[in-house]
Amino acid sequence: MNKFSVIREIDDVGRIVIPKQLREHCNIKPNDIIEFQIVDDKTIKLFSKDNKIDKGKTYMDNDLIRKMDVLQMLYDLKKNISDNKTPVNYGTILDIIYNVRYMDSVDTKNENSQVIYTITMLEKIESDKKGWPNFGSTNIVGYYTDLAVAIEAVTSNACDINETVYDYAVIEKVSEGLYNPSITSYWFKYNKGKDSYEPIDVPDELKHICGFSIG
């Protein structure tokens, strides 16, 4: 195949489509693993791997690691980077931190348990005179079985879940069963200028509170 140049636009979540002509030439098929290597500031190499991703399993079945351990390592790396020694791939480090934060955890105790991700909208996050949280109007707008889909729905303000009222949104991981505490949550704040929700850290006053949707 002759050399050719194709321009592709990266979408809002960082995805890019590999041209069909290139996929056919390199025999790249759905679910193939693609490796990216940074050559220099402006060059990235792409390699097609023979390995297949087995749905429902981790890439390395016997090498499960704790998500918080990975996050701590990345945060330590980010903290140790001084302003005058910022590497060219610093943006990549921030992207990895973002993606690991919202990566679903593997439940090795009960892999067959059903999990949903509920979406709850809150008008505000304040405290009353006694220190109790005050959320104003709240609304549980739905749930998804896929975390990535839930995050996409929130960040894109799908179906106008903001309703000109709700400045905050929380996604909670809820397991099957009765009175299961939702200890995993993902918080977002509405950006009126962009008409979208942006991820934020768990508000300090809510770090010991869970069950905004069920429980």
Measured distance CA(155)–CA(165) in Å, rounded: 16
- The predicted pLDDT at position 52 comes to 43
Q: Which CATH architecture has domain 1-58?
A: Ribbon (2.10)
Question: What parts of the chain have a pLDDT lower than 70?
Answer: 1-5, 13, 40-42, 47-113
The residues spanned by each domain of the chain are 1-58, 67-101, 115-206
For the whole prediction, is pTM greater than 0.85?
no
- The predicted pLDDT at position 168 comes to 96
Long-range pairs, 93-98, Cβ under 8 A, ≥24: 95/14, 97/71, 98/199
Phi and psi, residue 72, nearest 5°:
-60, -40
- The predicted pLDDT at position 22 comes to 76
